[in-house]
Structure 1
Amino acid sequence: MNFGKIDKKWQKIWETKKNYKTIDKTKSKKNFMLLVEFPYPSGDLHIGHWYAYAVPDILARYLKMKGNNVMYPIGFDAFGLPAENAAIKRKINPAVWTENNIKFMTKQLKSMGASFDWSRVISTIDHQYYKWTQWIFLKMYQKGLAYRAKTMVNWCPNCKTVLANEQVIAGLCERCDSEVIQKEFEQWMFRITDYADRLIDDIKDLDWPQTTKLAQKNWIGRSEGVIVKFDVKCQMLNVKCPSIEVFTTRLDTIFGCTYLVLAPERVSALIQNSEFKIQNSGEVENYINQTKKKTELQRLEIDKEKTGVKLEGIKAINPFDKEEVPIFVADYVLGHYGTGAVMAVPAHDERDFEFAKKYNLPIKEVIIPDVIDKKNPPVPGKKTVERRNVHAIVRNPQNNKFLCLKSKKFLWTTFPMGGIEENEDVVSAARREVEEETGYKNLKLIKVLGGKVRAEYFAKHKDENMIAHTTAVLFDLINEEKSEIDKEWEESHEIMWIGEHKLNYNTMVHAEMDIWEKRLKGDETAYADDGALVDSGQFTNLKSSEARVKMVQWLKKNNFGNSKKIFKLHDWVLSRQRYWGVPIPIIKCDNCGYVPVPEKDLPIKLPPLKDFLPTEEGKSPLAKAKNWVNVKCPKCKNPAQRETDTMDTFVDSSWYFMRYTDPKNKKVFADKKKMKLWLPVPMYIGGAEHNTMHLLYSRFFTKVLYDLKLVHFNEPFIGRKNHGIILGTDGQKMSKSRGNVVDPDKEVKKFGADTVRMYLAFAGPYEQGGPWNPGGMLGIRRFLERAYKLKSKISSGKISNKNLEVLLHQAIKKVSEDIENFRFNTAISALMILLNEIEKQSQLSIVNYQLFLKLLSPFAPHLSEEIWSNLGNKKNIHLEKWPEYNPKLIKKENFELIIQINGKLRDKISVESGISQKEAENIALNQEKIKNFIGGKTVKKIIFVPEKLINIVI
C-alpha cells in the first residue's frame, strides 16, 4: 500500500473543501475549543510536536463526530531569543529567519493530517497581533499593574539579557551555557502579586492535574504568619540600633531562637546605615559579592552546604525572653521573601539546624511531639497526673536485638522505663531503670534519642490518666553481668530480646513508639512539626496552635509585631534587553516621566536593524535605532525617547487563545460575543514544563481583563492535560548530542502519517509517553494493512452474526470512554482485539465494517477516509455521526457466578446474565459441592453481588 499517496490525496481534498474551517455558531451543536500549546517556529518539526498535536487530534475528530462544533486552532509563538541568536549567527534579520521557519513548519504540520482550522492561524510576530499585546500592556499600565522599578535579576553576560529562573540551569544560561550572574536593573514589571490570593484560591475549581495545581500553589507560596520586631544592640556604642523585623509562620518556636539570619540584599543596606556599627563589614561585603554570582535557585538548593558570616558588633534581642542572639548574613535567606530576615530556630528547622551545627550555635528545643495513645486514650473523669519519664532502649550489639519487658498481668511489652527523680538526669535515670527492672548494669551510652515527647494515655496499672514528658536513651549492652532484682517484679515480668523489625506501635505499648522507631533509624535532625511547648515562659505546655494565637496577642499588646500574609511569588519582570520581541509602548520624557504611547499610534513596530547584538552596557539593540528611539513626548511635545526594552515572550502567549476566537479583528483584540461562544477553554493540552510560568501568567492576564470588564470569564482554562515525552530508543531524552533524535518527516515518508499518529498514541499513557520503538511502527502498519484488507470479506447478502455484533458494541463503548479519558493506547488495543475477531469471520456485513471504520477514523483519518470512499460513500467519514452502543448488546449473555461459604471460594458456575438474587440462591444451594459444605448447618445470611458472587454465611 502507498500510504504516502493516500495521505497527500486526502489532505488536499480536506484543504480544498475547507472541511476543518470552524464557523462560530452551528445549529444544535455545542462549541468546543480544543487547545494545544502553539509551537515556537524553531525550523523543524520534531517527534515531540507530533506527540503534542497529532495525538490530541484523535480527541478533536471524535468530539466532532459526537456532534460538537470543534475548533482545533493552531498558531506560532514566534518571538524570542533563539531566533535572534540564529539571526546574529547567520547575519540575517530575525523576521526573515522566523517567517521562513513558519512556512516550513506549516507544511510539516499539515502533513500530520490533523483537523487544524488554518483559517484562524495566528503568529505573535504579526503586527496585528502584537498591536493588541501592546494595547493590553497599556491597559495594565493605566490600572497601575505595569510599573518600572529596580530589582535583582538573572543576567547572562553573553546573551546580554535578563533570564527567568527557569531559564537558568545549574547556574548557566539555558541558551548559551554561560555563567549567569545576579545584577540590579531597572525593569518593567507586572504586579502579579496583587492577584496572588485569587490565583491560589480559584485553582481549586479547575479540572487540572493535582501535580499542576500543587506546583502553582507552591510557586505562589502563600504563608500566613507574623512580623516580629527584634531590637538591635550595638555593642560598640552600647546603644540600641534600629530594630530588625522578621517574618515567621512558627511564632510558637520563638523561645528556641538562637540567632537571626539576614539576606545578603538586606545586609547591604545595613552596612550603609551609620547607626549599625558592623565591625567586620569588609568580610561581610565580600560574602555579599560572592552571593551575587549565585542564582536564586542555587541559593535555595536543599543539599548545598550552608554558608554565612556573623555580623560582629551587633546583637538582636528576643522580644519574649530578652535574650541577646547573634546576627548572621546567609544566602539561604532571600531579600524579596518576607522581610529578608528570619529568626533561626535550629531545633525546629532543618536549614537552621544544619547552619547551627556548622557554626557551633546553641540548639534549644522548645516544641516537643505531642501524641495521644489511640490504643489507650485518656479516660474522661479519671485523675490526670503529669510526670517526667525515661525509656531506656538497650541494644545487644552482638545480635542487634533490643531489651524489652513483657507484663504477665497486662500482657503488654515495654522498654525498661520509669519516672525521672528530682535532680536526676535522663541518662542516670535510664541506667537506674534498666538495673532495677532487668538487672543489667554494664551499659555503654550511645546517645539520647532527640528531645522529649509529650504523650497522653490511660495508665491501666495505676487507674489514672497520664501526661508523660518522655525522653528515650539508647545504650549498647557491654556484657551480661547482672544485679539482683526485686523478686515480685521478676515474677510479674518476662525479660525478652526483640529484633528491630518488631519494634513498632503494634507490638509495643508505648504511645511514643512511632517516634522512637524513626529516631532509631535516622540521623539526628530538627523536629519541624507542631507539638507542645516547653521552656517557653508563660506559654509552656500549650499546644502549638493555641500558643500561636496567644503569642500574637502578646506581640500586638506589647507593640512587637502583628499578623502578616506573604508570598514567595514576586512581581513578573517582563523587560528583555533584546531586539526580537514586542516593543514596550512607553516613551520616556525628562519633563513628564514615563508616558504611554497613544492607542492610535499602535502598533509600535520594530525598526529594521543590521546589528542585533545588545550594547556592552546591557541596553537593548533597539537603543541603536536613533531615528526610531528619538520622538516627541505625546504630552508636552518636547524631545523624548522610546523605551528600548522588549517584552518577555510569555506576555505574547498569555492571551493568544482569546485571539483564536476572532483572529482578523482590527478594532478589538477579540469580539466579546465571539469570546462568549468559545471561552473559557474547556480543555488545554500541553507540557508539564509550563505548570507554573505560562499557565500562571495566562491566569493572571485573564483575571486582569476580567476586572477591566473586557472578558466574561476569570479563568482561562477549565480543563488541563499534560502530555508526556517521547524518548529515544535508548530511553533517554532525544538530543542531537546523543544521536537518538527521530525525524518525523522520514518516518512519515516511510510509513505514512496514520502509522506515525497511531504509533505515538499507542506508545503508552498520554501523560507519560515512552521510548521510541521502530518495531512498534511495523506492528501498527501491519494493523492498518489488515484493516484495509477486510473489505475482501464484505458480503452483499444479509449476514447475522450476533457474537461479532456484541464485540462491536463493546468496542464502541470502550473506545469512546478511552478517547474521552485520554487513554488512546488502550483504545487502540480494543481496536486490535476487535480486528482479530473480525478476521476470524468468513464474511463481514458492510454495516459492521463501516462501524469499525468509524471507530478507526480518529486514529487513522487518511486510510479510513480512503476505504470509506471506496465503499461508495460520498460524504467524508469525519462528517459522519459517531456510533452509539446498544446497552443490551454489551451485556454478556452468561457470567461466572462465584459461590462462597463464609467468604471462602467453594464453587464457580456459569449462569445467565441478569439473574435475580432468589434465582442465584436456588442455583447455589442446589449445587452438590455446596450441599456437602453446608451439611446440616443453618444458613444465617446470604450476600449477593449481582453479576459477580454469592456468599452463604453459616
Structure 2
Amino acid sequence: MLRCQLQPWTTPLRASSSARCTFLRNSSNRLYATTTRATPNASNKSTKKASLNFGAMEAKWKARWAESPPFKNLETKDKPNYYVLSMFPYPSGMLHMGHVRVYTISDTLQRFRHMSGYNVLHPMGWDAFGLPAENAAIERGIHPAEWTVKNIELMKEQMRMLSLEFDWSRELATCDPSYYKWTQYIFLEMYKAGLAYQKEAVVNWDPVDQTVLANEQVDHEGKSWRSGALVERKKLKQWFFKVTDFSEDLLKDIDLLENWPQRVKQMQRHWIGKSKGAEFDFPLTTPTEKVSSLKVFTSRPDTIFGVQYLVVAPEHPLVNKDSLPKEQAASVMEFVNDLNKVQNMEEAEENKKGVFTGLYVNHPLTKEDIPIYVAPYVLAEYGTGAVMGVPAHDKRDWDFCHTNKVVDKVKFVVEPSIKETDKPLDYAEPFTAQGVLSALSGPYAGMKSQEAMKAIMRDASKIGFGHGATQYRLKDWLLSRQRYWGAPIPIIHCPECDVVPVPNEQLPVHLPLDISFTGKGGSPLAQAEDWVNCKCPKCNGPAKRETDTMDTFVDSSWYFMRFTDPHNTSLPFDPEKASARLPVDIYIGGVEHAILHLLYSRFYSKFLLRNGAYHATPDIKPGNGEPFNVLLTQGMVHGQTYKDPATQRFLKPEEVDTSEPKNPKIIATGETPLISFEKMSKSKYNGVDPVNVVNQHGVDPVRLHILYKAPPSEVLEWEDTSIVGMQRWLAKVLKLAESVGNDSPCTDIPALDKMTSEERDVYRETHTTIKQVTEAMSTTYSLNTAISDLIKLSNHVSASSLQPSSPVYQHAVRSIVTMMAPVAPTIGEECWEAITIQTNNSSRSVFAQPWPVFEEKALEKDTVDCVIQVNGKTRLNITVPVALASDAATIEKLARDTPQGQKWLADKPIRRAIVAKNGQLVNFVI
C-alpha cells in the first residue's frame, strides 16, 4: 500500500545553512545573537542585525514549563469561571498563518484571564472527520484514520512551538469513537424528539463513478472533479434535522447577542429570512390524483389581483408525466431532465427560462384561469414549492414573463400614491413599491397598500381562499453524506420494522476500518457487507445499517460542550459541569463560519437545553441556550504578491530581488514589480510557512507582530520586514527588567502627594496604561492598541530621569512585564526572572502574578496642556496647573513669560480671554 509522503517534523533551528551565528553574552549573562544572514537574490549583499537569542530562551522556558506548568492546579472554587475557545482546526498536517493568528489571540486572552483571577478553560481538539482525509486515502493509498492521526501529531507539535498554552488533558478528536458515540447519541435524542427525519432530496450525482458528490467536488462547468463526467441532479433519500422548528427562537435571540459583530448578526438574520404575509390556495381547474390546489406565499397580498401566472419547482409533485396533459408532458419532462444535468443552477435561474405545464388554476377573486409554469428559480424545499407571478410588481416576475411571453399585457394593480400631472406614468418597468390600488383591484381600488392588505386578507379568509402566514428562508439541515470518513448514522433499516434506531447500549456504531477506497460505486460503507448486514434490534430479523454518514457540521455543533467534561463515559457531558461553564465566554474564529457553523451550534445548544442535557443558571449565565457570549471574528491574513507589470503574471519569490525591501526588482528585467496584498494561495506564491517564520524571527516577535499589525477583526497584511521592531522592543524591555533586577528590590511606593513631579508623571502613565491595556484585553479586544500602549509606556520610562532604585520606576517596569507576558510569554518569563533575581520570591513565573489594577486617583493630572490662540489662530502651547486651568489671568501671565508669548502678545492689552475645554484651549483677543 502506498503511504502518504508527509514532511517530517523537525526541531526548530535558529541558524540555517545560509546563516552564520555568533553567540555573545551581555553583562547580565544573557544570550544574544549577532546573525549575518544571506539575502536571496541580493547580488552578494547581506544584512546584519543584533537581537536576543530567542531560540535559546524558548528552549529554556519550554523545559521549565514542562517541568512546572504555570497554570496547573490553579483552579479553585472561590474563583469565577471563564471559557476561552478558538475554533478547532481540521488536521491538515500544517498550520497556516490564519491558524497562528486565531490561536495567538485566544492564548493571549486566556493568559490574561488566568492572571486576572479566573478558572480558565482553554481546550483544543480536532475537527477530524471530512472529505479531505478520504481523498487522501484514494490518492495516496493511506487510510483516513492513519492520515488523520499523523497530521494531528504534526499540528500539535507546531502549536507547542508557538508557545500556545492549551489544556491538552481535554483534547478530543471528532473521529474518535469516544466522541462520535455521543454525536450518535444526540442524533438519537433528536430522532426521539421528532427533529431527525428522512425524506427525498436532490443531490449531485456522478453517473460514471456512481456516487454522490459534495458541492466542493464539482467544478465551475458542472463536471465531477474525479471522473470528469457531467454531474446530474438526482433524488435520494436523505436525513435531515428539523432546524426550522427553532426558526423563531434562532431569529429573536439574535437581539440578545450584544457582543457579536453586527455583520454576523445580520448574516444570521438574512439566512433565517423571516417574512410575514399571506398564503393563498389556488384550486386547479383540473385536479390530479395527488394535487387539487396550489398553495403560494406572498409578502404582498395587495398585489393579488395582479397574479397572471403561477410557477412551481421542478421537483413539485405536480410535475410528473401522469399529472401533466399529454400534449405538454414530453416537453415539460424534457425541460426538467435537462435541469437535472445542470450543476450551476444559479445560471439556469438567471436566464429566466421556464416551461408551460398545460395546467391552470382558478383565481377565486378574478375568476380567471391562471397558467402554471415550471422554472428552476422556485425551490421545492422553500415555502410551498410554488410562487405567484405578478409581473407588474416584481422584477424577477417581470423578466420571467417577458422571457417566456406568458401574457400580452401586464396588469398594474398598484400605482404610486401621488401621480405626476405633467407626464404619464411609465409602465415600461415594474412598480415594486407600495402605493394605491388601481381600478384593476376591484372593490379595493383606491385603498393604500397597507389598508388593502388587511381588507384582502379578511375577505380571503372568509371564503377559504387565504390566511395570514409567516415564512422563513431557513431550510431544514440536510446532514446525510454518502461518504466514508464521518460519524455513521445510528439507524437500522428492517424490512419488517422499517426504520429502527440503534439502542443506546449498542453505541457507538463503529466506523469499520477494513474498507476499500476507490472513489467509485457509491459509499464505501455500502460495500462493507459484514458491517451493513445486521440484526434488527426490535424483531431480531435480518436488517441493514444506514450507510450514510453525518455532515461534519454535526461534529462541530456541540464540541464546545464536550470540552466541559471530555472523559465522561455515561453521558455526552455532566449537566452540572456544562452548566457551570456554558455559554462559552469568548469564541474566536474566522468570519467564514458566520452562518452555518454558528447557526447549527445555536440550534444544538437550544435543543440540548430544552432536552435537559444542561440547565440555565440565570444568576450567572443567560438561560436562552445561546452557546457563545462574545464572538470575536478575526480577519484573514493576506500575503504580499509580486506581478510582472507587462504580463500580469504572479512572480515566484526567487524571481524578485528583495535585498532592498522598499525597492524590489524583477531579476530578469530590472523592472519594479506590481505589489499587492491578497489571500494567501499557492498560485500567487504568497503563502507563508509559520515554521519558517518562527525559526527565523522567534516565537514572541512573531506573536507580537501578528497582533500589532492590525485589529483582530480586520484583514492582516503580512510582511515580516518590520518584525525586527518587535525584536528591538523585547530587547529594550529585557534591559529595563535587568536594570531593576540588578538593583535592590523596591520599597513601598510613596503616596501621591509625596512623589516628585517626575515620579508622579511616570506613575500616572503606568496606571493609564494599565487601564487601557486591561480594557483592550477584556472589552474591546483591540490587542494592537494594547501593544502600542505598552511600547509607549516603556519609552516613557526609559526617557525619564528616575533611577532603577526608585520604587515608582520598579513598579512601572514590573507592570510592563506583567502586561506584556500574555502576548510574549517567553520574554515575559525571562524579564520576570531578571526582575526577581535578587529577591526571595518563591513564585518564579510571571503568570503566577496578579494582573495589575489601576488606581483612579493616579490617573488625575497635576497640569493641563493648554493650547493658546491669538485672535483665533494657534500660536503656542503651555502647561498650566490643574487648579488654575480656568484662571484666564494666570494663563495670560504664563503665556507672556514664554518667548512665543512675547512674540505674539508683547505688551498688547487683552481685550477678551475665552477659556474652553476646562483650560485646554484659550483664545486671547487683542
Q: TM-score, normalised by structure 1?
A: 0.77
- Counterparts in 2 of 1:146 and 1:314: CA distance versus 1, 3 Å: closer
Matched, 1:691 2:594: yes
Amino acid of the structure 2 residue aligned with 1:306: K
Amino acid of the structure 2 residue aligned with 1:788: L
How far 1:602 sits from its partner (Å)?
Answer: 1.3
Among candidates 306, 316, 321, match of residue 272 of structure 1: 321
Amino acid of the structure 2 residue aligned with 1:534: S
Structure 1: gaps (5+ residues): 372-387, 393-425, 427-447, 452-523
Structure 1 equivalent of residue 799 of structure 2:
840
Structure 2 equivalent of residue 512 of structure 1:
none
User: Which structure has the larger Rg?
Assistant: 1
How far 1:309 sits from its partner (Å)?
Answer: 2.1
Amino acid of the structure 2 residue aligned with 1:687: G
RMSD (CA atoms): 3.4
Q: Give the SS at the match of 2:421.
A: strand
- Counterparts in 2 of 1:563 and 1:278: CA distance versus 1, 3 Å: farther
How far 1:892 sits from its partner (Å)?
Answer: 3.7
Q: Give the SS at the match of 1:664.
A: coil
Deviations 1:833-855 (A, max 9, x none): 22333333464443322221112
Whole-Å Cα distance in 2 between the matches of residues 228 and 706 of structure 1?
37
Matched, 1:606 2:511: yes
Does the aligned pair in 2 maintain the 1:229–1:560 contact within 8 Å?
yes
Amino acid of the structure 2 residue aligned with 1:646: T
Amino acid of the structure 2 residue aligned with 1:269: L
Q: Give the SS at the match of 1:729.
A: strand
Q: Give the SS at the match of 1:666.
A: coil
- Counterparts in 2 of 1:297 and 1:116: CA distance versus 1, 3 Å: farther
Structure 1 equivalent of residue 766 of structure 2:
808
Deviations 1:709-752 (A, max 9, x none): 11114121122111111011121211122221100011111111
Structure 2 equivalent of residue 543 of structure 1:
448
Does the aligned pair in 1 maintain the 2:205–2:231 contact within 8 Å?
yes
Structure 2 equivalent of residue 656 of structure 1:
559
Q: Give the SS at the match of 2:85.
A: strand
Deviations 1:105-163 (A, max 9, x none): 11111111122111111111222111111111111111111122111234466887656
Amino acid of the structure 2 residue aligned with 1:706: L
Matched, 1:308 2:354: yes
**Which structure 2 residues correspond to residues 503-514 of structure 1 after superposition, within 5 A?**
none
Does the aligned pair in 2 maintain the 1:226–1:562 contact within 8 Å?
yes
Amino acid of the structure 2 residue aligned with 1:83: A
Whole-Å Cα distance in 1 between the matches of residues 330 and 922 of structure 2?
83
**Which structure 2 residues correspond to residues 757-768 of structure 1 after superposition, within 5 A?**
757-768=703-714
Structure 2 equivalent of residue 319 of structure 1:
364
- Counterparts in 2 of 1:733 and 1:758: CA distance versus 1, 3 Å: same
Deviations 1:752-784 (A, max 9, x none): 111111111112121113221121222222222
Matched, 1:796 2:743: yes
Does the aligned pair in 2 maintain the 1:59–1:819 contact within 8 Å?
yes
- Counterparts in 2 of 1:863 and 1:945: CA distance versus 1, 3 Å: same
Whole-Å Cα distance in 1 between the matches of residues 772 and 632 of structure 2?
20
Does the aligned pair in 2 maintain the 1:22–1:69 contact within 8 Å?
no
Does the aligned pair in 2 maintain the 1:4–1:748 contact within 8 Å?
no
Among candidates 403, 422, 428, match of residue 391 of structure 1: 422
Whole-Å Cα distance in 1 between the matches of residues 783 and 733 of structure 2?
18
Matched, 1:225 2:171: no
Structure 1 equivalent of residue 337 of structure 2:
289
Matched, 1:886 2:855: yes
Whole-Å Cα distance in 2 between the matches of residues 169 and 932 of structure 1?
82
Structure 2 equivalent of residue 406 of structure 1:
none
Q: Give the SS at the match of 1:670.
A: coil
Whole-Å Cα distance in 2 between the matches of residues 738 and 39 of structure 1?
24
Structure 2: gaps (5+ residues): 1-51, 617-624, 642-676, 747-755, 897-903
Deviations 1:380-399 (A, max 9, x none): xxxxxxxx64235xxxxxxx
Among candidates 171, 188, 196, match of residue 247 of structure 2: 196
Q: Give the SS at the match of 1:727.
A: strand
Does the aligned pair in 2 maintain the 1:805–1:889 contact within 8 Å?
yes
Matched, 1:366 2:416: no
Structure 1 equivalent of residue 724 of structure 2:
778
Among candidates 83, 88, 91, match of residue 41 of structure 1: 91
Does the aligned pair in 2 maintain the 1:21–1:119 contact within 8 Å?
no
- Counterparts in 2 of 1:320 and 1:659: CA distance versus 1, 3 Å: same
Matched, 1:252 2:302: yes
Among candidates 378, 388, 395, match of residue 350 of structure 1: 395
Structure 2 equivalent of residue 571 of structure 1:
476
Q: Give the SS at the match of 1:718.
A: strand
Structure 1 equivalent of residue 689 of structure 2:
743
Deviations 1:35-79 (A, max 9, x none): 111111011111111011112211111111111121111011111
Q: Give the SS at the match of 2:572.
A: coil
Q: TM-score, normalised by structure 2?
A: 0.79
Does the aligned pair in 1 maintain the 2:198–2:238 contact within 8 Å?
yes
How far 1:887 sits from its partner (Å)?
Answer: 2.5
- Counterparts in 2 of 1:876 and 1:886: CA distance versus 1, 3 Å: same
Structure 1 equivalent of residue 32 of structure 2:
none
Amino acid of the structure 2 residue aligned with 1:139: E
Among candidates 522, 542, 561, match of residue 639 of structure 1: 542
Moved more, 242-251 or 183-192: 242-251
- Counterparts in 2 of 1:641 and 1:62: CA distance versus 1, 3 Å: same
Among candidates 425, 431, 436, match of residue 527 of structure 1: 431
- Counterparts in 2 of 1:102 and 1:160: CA distance versus 1, 3 Å: farther
Q: Bigger relative contact order, structure 1 or 2, given CA contacts below 8 A and separation 6+?
A: 1
**Which structure 2 residues correspond to residues 416-495 of structure 1 after superposition, within 5 A?**
426=424, 450=426
Moved more, 188-197 or 344-353: 344-353
Does the aligned pair in 2 maintain the 1:22–1:117 contact within 8 Å?
no
Amino acid of the structure 2 residue aligned with 1:568: R
Percent identity (aligned): 41
Does the aligned pair in 1 maintain the 2:112–2:851 contact within 8 Å?
yes
Q: Give the SS at the match of 1:637.
A: coil
Matched, 1:868 2:914: no
Amino acid of the structure 1 residue aligned with 2:798: E
Structure 1 equivalent of residue 28 of structure 2:
none
How far 1:576 sits from its partner (Å)?
Answer: 1.2
Structure 2 equivalent of residue 704 of structure 1:
607
Matched, 1:666 2:714: no
Q: Give the SS at the match of 2:391.
A: coil
Moved more, 180-189 or 755-764: 180-189
Amino acid of the structure 2 residue aligned with 1:532: V
Amino acid of the structure 2 residue aligned with 1:854: T
Q: Give the SS at the match of 1:548.
A: helix
How far 1:642 sits from its partner (Å)?
Answer: 1.6
